[in-house]
Amino acid sequence: MPRSPRPKLAVWKFASCDGCQLSVLDLEDDLLALAGAVEIANFREASSAVVDGPYDLSLVEGSVTTEEDARRIREVRAESRILVTIGACATSGGIQALRNFADVKEFARVVYARPEYVRTLATSTAIREHVPVDLELRGCPVNKAQLLEVVSAYLGDRSPNLPTESVCASCKRRGTVCVMVARGTPCLGPVTQSGCGALCPAYDRGCYGCFGPAETPNLPSMVRRLDELGVDAAARVRLFRTFNAGDPLFREAANASAPPAEAR
């Protein structure tokens, strides 16, 4: 595809914590290169100066939690040539998808003094459930280097290099001692997509699954192993229902009754 010399980039926010947009600002030196390579036409977190669409590349953060969101994302789609969703909120509904398993009215009543002012949908959903998405960049938050890779691939008219293997691959390359094997700490690394560089195991924690399911996750085997490590059904729900609670595979793993021990 031929491109304009300086493609127009837009960054959009839906229901989210802004952490992924901050990852863009956090690119430091690379941010200057980015500003040189693309025209940052609409990025309210960074600047109130806005250039009208259409945009060549839109990065969308956040999930859809209101009627207004659902309308606005269709507008964004309409004025974006390429639409990339960034972060767990945009790709699976985020931590706020916990509402999908509960009564959102009840939440609103507990949290807000005047719940009648809160107009919200009963669910928090991924952007792709509302409009076609060209690429999903996972993570809570996204990885800066991967974000840069997406823009760089767009500029170079090539497909981005975004491995979909498990977190364990990064963990082993890093030389981290496996917390599950050496300590019995429950870790979602084997079923979670890499991208974070296996951060948590390097700090003595099991993986929280921020990047969502890996390419071919064997969740029944993972659930069985967690069960052996003493993770009961209630604890397993808490383990799988975090930033990617709304992901269909993680949802299923959270709900699964422990599978029977596999015959060897």
Query: Which residues form the interface with other proteins (CB under 8 A)?
Result: 30, 33-34, 36-37, 148-149, 151-152, 155-156, 161, 163-166, 168-169, 172-178, 180-184, 187, 189-191, 204, 214-218, 220-222, 224-225, 262-264
Which tokens go with 145? 């280097």
Does residue 141 have a cis bond before it (omega within 30 degrees)? yes
89 contact, one of ligand SF4, other proteins, none, CB 5-8 Å limit per kind: none
In a 3-state reduction of DSSP, which class is residue 68?
A: helix
* Residue in the block written with tokens 């802004």: 18
Phi, psi of 60 (to 5 degrees): -115, 120
DSSP element (H, E) containing 209? none
Rank residues 106 and 204 by Cβ distance to other proteins and give the closer one: 204
Compute how many other C-beta atoms are within 10 angstroms of the C-beta atom of residue 78: 11
The C-alpha angle 155, 157, 159, rounded to 5 degrees, equals 110
Select from ligand SF4, other proteins, none the partner in contact with residue 209, using the beta carbon and a kind-dependent cut-off of 5 to 8 Å.
none
239 binds, among ligand SF4, other proteins, none (CB under 5 to 8 A by kind): none
Q: Tell me how far, at minimum, the Cβ of 216 lies from other proteins, in Å.
A: 6
What span, in angstroms and rounded, lies between the C-alpha atoms of 105 and 122?
8
Q: Which is nearer to other proteins, 86 or 97 (CB)?
A: 86
Instruction: Kindly state the smallest distance separating residue 119's Cβ from other proteins, in Å.
Output: 41
Residues that bind ligand SF4 (CB under 6 A): 167-168, 171-172, 176, 178-180, 187, 189-190, 198, 201, 207
